[in-house]
Structures are given as C-alpha cells and as structure tokens.
Amino acid sequence: MMQKFGISFGSFVVSANRGFSRAHDYAFLVCRKVVEPDHHDLESWELLPMYPAEVYLVLRDGSIALLPFLAVWEMTRANLGL
C-alpha cells in the first residue's frame, strides 16, 4: 500500500518455529527525526537513513545481515524500480 511518504508491505511472522515475532515492514521515502529514541524499549535500535548505494555496501560487507532488513530492501526495490 503506497502512502504519501512511505510504503507498507504488511506484517509477517519472523520466527515460524515459535509462532511469534512479527515484522511490520515499511519503507519510508521521506523521513526526519522528531524525537530522540526511547532506549527503555525492550530492544535497542538505531535509525540509519541511507541512500541506495549505501544499502548495497552494507549488504555486501555484511554489517547489516538481517533477513527482515533484506526483505524490506528487496520489496522497496521492486516497488520503486531501484
């Protein structure tokens, strides 16, 4: 579903053996920081705005090697023709 500034790809089970851990996959075309991250969440995370060339580099060198990230990247490429 295409929104004004982003794409929602839906929700997918990430841990099929245990039946929980859903990934809610989005790609944002325009984004900006509005508040500092809340590190009291159960997980740590980091927002890394990247250009397509930078995404290719981190995937090639293995510094970001998570399947949900790769899935969102490939769905984004397919939807935007990158």
Query: What pLDDT digit, counting tens, does each position of 6-15 carry?
Result: 888 888 887 7
Is 40 inside a domain boundary?
no
Q: Which residue range is the domain that position 50 belongs to? A: 6-31+45-80
Is 38 inside a domain boundary?
no
Q: How far apart are CA 14 and CA 24, in angstroms?
A: 10
Q: How far apart are CA 69 and CA 63, in angstroms?
A: 12
Is 19 inside a domain boundary?
yes
Structural domain tally of the chain? 1
pTM of the model: 0.59
Residue 39: per-residue pLDDT: 66
